[in-house]
């Protein structure tokens, strides 16, 4: 029996390529139901469902929408975060290739609930097939009168990790580099001016799609699956050393063990699984924690995090010094440089890790990493250095012996790990295609 429960992905996984096809499976009902209620009742429905944002932090969507609705400023915006820059994550791009229509419904519902007259989808320019599908779906839905003409703009942005940070996303929509501003978008939003703060709700692609389903089928239906902490389904991306890599929609709250072994078939080779990373924002999870339910609360309790549900799996042949180095280097190269502690701190941690990895390190390097990790978040504008300060010490503490062996024996592991920045998914081969590693070379 398949453990997958497809509620927002098409049941047969066949892409929905026409609006008629979408309407035939009940598309359009979410917006229609929402418009038949007051905006407050829409927010109440999302609250009853306890929808938690799927962009990483699991923030309750109804609280975000409700607080923006209650802001005095009459100009409000909605922004859809389609940056998907987290290593190990491909769910939004996969989903939109299967069904782009649901997203437009979700965004239209959010605009109605919040009282926004305009919305933006911020998508990376390089996601060409998804950009194409968005333009086609918007045209068809506008022509059919399902969504208002001109309500939703499509903003194509740069291939930067910070384009996905919500303050960076808003900066990019405003025509600047995605360098996170100081003030969050729910206070200072798109196109703000001193007299008009324009509060903006930034939500992930999947969050809007889940909201559309909730409005179509009701909060009780949504809560039929999932856990108390995180109702509904989650779209997981699993890459790395498992037999069946891929993208899977499962009820929140299934265990990591179920995902790794029953769904993904366990390790690909002869080595057991050693470590699992949920993107690069949380601590490492090791096998003794594989019984943890995959919801926001449970994963946080074990020092991991659900994040955007993109799991990178390594077996015993992988070197954790190298993994720490690759992740730290990615964060250091992604830092925009506005805040010195972040920019210098992530770069210095990377240098110390590089020394250790090359067999030239000492205990002083380990001490320095912990020291810098404790300071690199001082007076910084965004969460990126916090990710570094959580992730890297967690890897070192968990695999301290491995780091010490590297220092003592001055040896290197021959297996070269790649940074799993996913560019595409070959569904027939069930294999991910990764970005050019040269972009994050050391």
Ligand X SMILES: Cc1cc2nc3c(=O)[nH]c(=O)nc-3n(C[C@H](O)[C@H](O)[C@H](O)COP(=O)(O)O)c2cc1C
Binding site for ligand X (CB under 6 A): 53-57, 59, 81, 83-86, 161-162, 164-166, 202-204, 207, 382-384
As measured in angstroms, the least distance from the Cβ of 207 to ligand X is 3
d(C-alpha 203, C-alpha 243), whole Å: 32
**What is the Cα–Cα distance from 207 to 66, expressed in whole angstroms?**
15
Stretch that binds ligand SF4, among 70-78, 275-283, 335-343, 404-412 (CB under 6 A): 335-343
In angstroms, give the least distance from the CB of 336 to ligand SF4. 4
Q: Which is nearer to ligand X, 79 or 275 (CB)?
A: 79
Instruction: With beta carbons less than 8 A apart as the criterion, state whether 214 and 48 touch.
Output: no
Interface region with ligand SF4, contact rule CB under 6 A, candidates 200-208, 244-252, 274-282, 331-339: 331-339
Does position 335 interact with ligand SF4 (CB under 6 A)? The reply is yes
Residue 53 binding result from ligand SF4, ligand X, none, given CB thresholds of 5 to 8 Å by partner type: ligand X
Asked whether 328 and 392 are in contact (CB, 8 A), the reply is yes
Of residues 263, 202, 209, the one with CA closest to residue 237: 263
Residue 289 binding target from ligand X, ligand SF4, none, CB below 5 to 8 Å by type: none
Which residue among 164, 178, 293, 385 contacts ligand SF4 (CB under 6 A)?
A: 385
DSSP 164: G
User: Between residues 365 and 388, which has the closer beta carbon with respect to ligand X?
Assistant: 388
Kindly state the smallest distance separating residue 332's Cβ from ligand SF4, in Å.
10
Q: What residues have CB less than 8 Å from 97, skipping those under 6 apart?
A: 15, 129, 130, 133
Residues 137-166 that bind ligand SF4 (CB under 6 A): 162
Q: Decide whether 53 or 361 has the Cβ nearer to ligand X.
A: 53
Burial of 413 (0-12, 13-18, 19+ CB in 10 A): middle
Burial tier of 304 (Cβ tally within 10 Å: 0-12, 13-18, 19+) = buried
Of these partners, ligand SF4, ligand X, none, which one is at the site of residue 324 (CB under 5 to 8 Å by kind)? none
Q: Per-residue x/- marks for ligand SF4, 177-206, CB under 6 A?
A: ---x--------------------------
Q: Which of 216, 336, 396, 417 binds ligand SF4 (CB under 6 A)?
A: 336
Instruction: Pick the stretch among 7-15, 239-247, 338-346, 357-365 that binds ligand SF4 (CB under 6 A).
Output: 338-346
Regarding beta strands 246-251 and 233-240, do their DSSP bridges make them parallel or antiparallel, or are they unpaired?
antiparallel
Distance CA 80, CA 119 (A): 8
Residue 81 or 227: which CB sits closer to ligand X?
A: 81
Q: How far is the CB of 85 from ligand SF4 (least distance, A)?
A: 12
**C-alpha to C-alpha distance for 240 and 88, rounded to whole angstroms:** 9
Q: Which one, of 369, 397, 365, 370, lies nearest residue 284 by Cα?
A: 397
State the CB neighbour count (10 A cutoff) for residue 224.
14
Stretch that binds ligand SF4, among 239-247, 260-268, 330-338, 411-419 (CB under 6 A): 330-338
What does 183 bind: ligand X, ligand SF4, none (CB cut-off 5 to 8 Å by kind)?
none
- CB count in 10 Å sphere of residue 343: 18
45/217 Cα distance (integer angstroms): 11
Which residue stretch of 8-16, 269-277, 308-316, 382-390 sits at the interface with ligand SF4 (rule: CB under 6 A)?
382-390
Select 53 or 100, whichever has its Cβ closest to ligand X: 53
Alpha helix segments (H runs only) across 202-295? 205-217, 219-223, 256-257
Binding site for ligand SF4 (CB under 6 A): 162, 180, 335-339, 342-343, 380-382, 384-385
């Amino acid at each position: 029996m398949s453990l997958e429960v497809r509620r927002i992905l098409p049941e047969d996984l066949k892409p929905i390529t026409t609006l008629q096809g979408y309407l035939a499976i009940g598309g359009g009902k979410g917006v229609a139901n929402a418009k038949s209620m007051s905006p407050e009742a829409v927010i109440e429905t999302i609250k009853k469902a306890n929808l938690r944002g799927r962009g990483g932090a699991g923030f309750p969507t109804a609280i975000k929408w409700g607080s923006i609705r209650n802001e005095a400023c009459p100009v409000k915006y909605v922004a859809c975060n389609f940056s998907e820059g987290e290593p190990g994550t491909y769910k939004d791009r996969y989903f939109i290739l299967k069904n782009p229509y649901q997203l437009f419904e979700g965004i239209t519902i959010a605009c109605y609930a919040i009282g926004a007259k305009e919305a933006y989808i911020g998508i990376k320019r390089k996601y060409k097939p998804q950009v194409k599908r968005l333009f086609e779906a918007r045209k068809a839905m506008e022509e059919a009168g399902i969504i208002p003409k001109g309500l939703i703009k499509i903003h194509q942005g740069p291939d930067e990790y910070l384009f996905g940070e919500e303050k960076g996303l808003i900066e990019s929509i405003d025509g600047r580099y995605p360098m996170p501003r100081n003030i969050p978008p729910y206070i200072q939003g798109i196109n703000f001016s001193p007299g008009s703060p324009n509060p903006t709700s930034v939500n992930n692609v999947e969050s809007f799609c889940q909201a559309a389903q909730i409005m179509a089928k009701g909060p009780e239906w949504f809560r039929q699956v999932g856990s108390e902490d995180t109702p509904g389904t989650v779209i997981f991306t699993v890459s790395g050393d498992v037999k069946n890599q891929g993208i899977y929609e499962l009820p929140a709250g299934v265990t990591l063990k179920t995902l790794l072994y029953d769904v993904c078939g366990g390790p690909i080779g002869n080595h057991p699984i050693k470590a699992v990373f949920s993107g690069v924002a949380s601590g490492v999870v090791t096998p003794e924690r594989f019984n943890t339910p995959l919801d926001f609360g449970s994963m946080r309790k074990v020092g991991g995090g659900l994040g955007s549900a993109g799991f990178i799996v390594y077996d015993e042949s992988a070197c954790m010094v190298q993994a720490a180095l690759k992740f730290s280097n990615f964060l250091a190269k992604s830092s925009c440089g506005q805040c010195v502690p972040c920019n210098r701190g992530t770069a210095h941690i990377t240098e110390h890790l590089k020394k250790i990895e090359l067999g030239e390190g000492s205990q002083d390097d380990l001490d320095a990493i912990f020291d810098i990790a404790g300071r690199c978040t001082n007076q910084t504008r965004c969460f990126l250095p916090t990710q570094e300060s959580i992730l890297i010490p967690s890897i070192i503490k968990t695999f301290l012996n491995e780091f010490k062996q590297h220092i003592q024996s001055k040896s290197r592991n021959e297996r070269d790990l790649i940074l799993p920045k996913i560019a595409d998914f070959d569904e027939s081969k069930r294999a991910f295609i990764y970005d050019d590693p040269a972009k994050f070379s050391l």
